[in-house]
Amino acid sequence: MTAWTLQRRQFVAAGAAALATAALGGCERTTPPLLGGFTGIDMARGHQLRDLLKNGSLPAPSVVRRAQVVIAGGGVAGLAAARALRLAGVHDFALLELEDTPGGNSRGTLVGGLPCPQGAHYLPVPGDDAREVQDLLEELGVRQRVAGRWQYDERHLCHSPQERLFFDGEWQEGLLPVHGVGEATLAQYRRFARAVDAEARAARFAMPAIKLWSQKQPLAPAHQALDAITFEEWLAANGLDDAHLRWYLDYCCRDDYGAGAARVSAWAGIHYFASRHGFHAPGEAVDEARESVLTWPEGNGWLTQRLAEPLQSSAPGGGQLRTATSVLRITEGRHGVEVDALNHRTGNVERWVAPQCIVALPVLLAARVVQQPPAFLTGAAQRLQWAPWLVANIHINSPLADRPGAAPAWDNVLYADPTAGGLGYVNAGHQGLDPRATLTGPTVLTYYQALGDVADGRQQLTTQPWQHWADAALAALSVPHPDLRERATRVDITRYGHAMAIPTPGVLEYLSKIGLHRATRLPNKLSKTEQTPWIPTPTTARLAFAHSDWSGYSVFEEAFTRGHGAGLVAAG
């Protein structure tokens, strides 16, 4: 990063703080009526599909369509598979997606006319293990080579200040509790940093993790040992019991995996740090370039929207995307694959016939719709657990009053009871290029709640009205922002019943033994970095499976790389 870039960020941060202070003075406000509802995910469609599969009597197809490849599922993996097919010169394919818009848990939306995320809200600057993601970002103009070095467009990097924590009644910079903590706590921070370094030296970590797997040794012995126990057990064995450290690590697990340190494996807990930027105790040097993240007002929806654009009917060579379509049944035969799908717009079942099918569905759903499923699919469905997730987009008509401490940031986390599942919020307006407009006008706060450790979390998500979740989000955020209810005008709730796989002990070892497949040909249209010789893709004769579930946890890099690999397999 150039000195000018750092100066610019410091200037923007200072200006933002001054403008926020000026904007908060003055007149009294009346409380507007609170509008809102459920949005983004149509649970009724999902339940209709579940009921049809339980009854076992699926409607007969009313029409038969043909394609060279059918992609079942339009999340990040399905969209990546479609891109790989197009780059390989395969355009005769259909992508079938349950919801009205593709993107999985990386969708974006508009609330009050303002873009905001409905799920994943950032992408760490990818390292060289994620070459497929790097190539995508180059294609989209997010990064380019300047004077022999890669540089990222400043507009896409998270603006400063990046993150803060509401701790002990005030805001502090960073997410690790530091203000007022004792020397014993700081010593444990340093001990954990050394332990992460030691584990990283024992066996290399990477993002995506699938780049470490090989046919001879899918999982290193050191990783096997970590995968066999929970993160909480590993912390206890290493004498890391400080309450503040434990809170922070539990937050990290819930943030990335949907469940806390008592559920996820020690491998997952270490991987959170060792595969990216490590763990830095207070006072230790930080590599700002490695700490950088890419984000947009609509979160990773910016990426999925651009992946979907070439598939729209109006795009040149487009028309491959079929939304509002539930995959009911996938039947693999000797000469092809039949995919029966319910078109929710017409109410008719359509049969797609193709030589190949990419199953980019969550493992839980894939195991239900694939007829005579392979043993590895059944085994994965039996071993995996999924975390329910809630996203509340809160539209506010003017800036909020703020507690003392650090200036308003993009990512705002609350030091609170983890059993409630709350993670904090991101400010969708933070990436605006005009900080004066951002800090004096309306914006959207996107509040996240991981329900993997909440008793009956999935049932509550299904049965409670939207007002229940809106009230809970407003109550949590009113602690640091007591005037929130006066300024909130609308709360849109997005529910994910099975948002992400939880990397529980033993899952990684099982998954790492599945599907190391070499593409039969590497098309010329792919860049050298995208021509991955070994692609961890679970396959049968005519099916290629692609979803982040096959990595045991849900991040963009895993889903995209697996989708890209499945696309190469189908194109080959």
Task: Identify the burial level of 416 via C-beta atoms within 10 angstroms of its C-beta, where 0-12 means exposed, 13-18 middle and 19 or more buried.
Answer: middle
Residue 2 pLDDT > 60, yes or no? no
Q: Which of 426, 389, 376 is nearest to 500 (CA)?
A: 389
pLDDT band per the 50, 70, 90 thresholds, residue 216: low
CA distance 342 to 328: 7
The whole-angstrom separation of Cα 154 and Cα 303 is 16
pLDDT confidence of 439, banded at 50, 70, 90? low
Per the structure block, which two tokens stand in for 174? 């960073």
Percent of the chain with pLDDT over 70: 88
**Is pLDDT at 63 greater than 80 in this prediction?**
yes
pLDDT at 531 over 60: no
In this prediction, residue 294 carries a pLDDT of: 95
Q: Take residue 504 and report the two structure tokens written for it.
A: 């529980």
Fold classification of 43-107+298-384+506-571 is FAD/NAD(P)-binding domain (3.50.50)
Quote the mean pLDDT of the chain: 87
Q: List Cα–Cα distances, 279 to 207, 317, 463, 487, in angstroms.
A: 16, 46, 39, 37
Window from 195-209, 287-301, 446-460 with minimum mean pLDDT: 287-301
pLDDT in tens, 284-335: 766 666 678 999 999 999 999 999 999 998 887 779 999 999 999 999 998 9
pLDDT-based confidence at 547, cuts 50/70/90?
very high
Only one residue has tokens 């339940």, namely 47
Element (H, E) at 77: helix 76-87
pLDDT digits (tens, 9 = 90+) for 109-161: 999 999 999 999 999 999 889 999 999 999 999 999 887 788 999 999 999 89
Q: Taking a C-beta distance cutoff of 8 angstroms, is the pair 173, 161 a contact?
A: yes
Q: Which residue has the higher pLDDT, 144 or 524?
A: 144
Q: Is the dihedral of CA 251, 253, 259, 264 positive or negative?
A: negative
Distance between CA atoms of residues 38 and 34, nearest Å: 14
Per-residue pLDDT reduced to its tens digit, 353-400: 999 999 999 999 999 999 999 999 999 999 999 999 999 999 999 989
Q: 55: pLDDT confidence band, cut at 50, 70 and 90?
A: confident
Bigger pLDDT: 483 or 316?
483
Do the beta carbons of residue 489 and residue 112 sit within 8 Å?
Answer: yes
Using a pLDDT cut of 90, give the percent of the chain over it: 71
Residue 103 pLDDT level (bands cut at 50, 70, 90): very high
User: Measured between alpha carbons, how far is 380 from 511 in angstroms, rounded to an integer?
Assistant: 7
Q: Where are the domains of the chain?
A: 43-107+298-384+506-571
Q: Which residues is 163 bridged to in the sheet?
A: 411
pLDDT at 90 (0 to 100): 95
The pLDDT score that the predictor gives to residue 66 is 97
Looking at per-residue confidence, does 519 or 401 come out higher? 401
φ, ψ for residue 430, nearest 5 deg: -65, -30
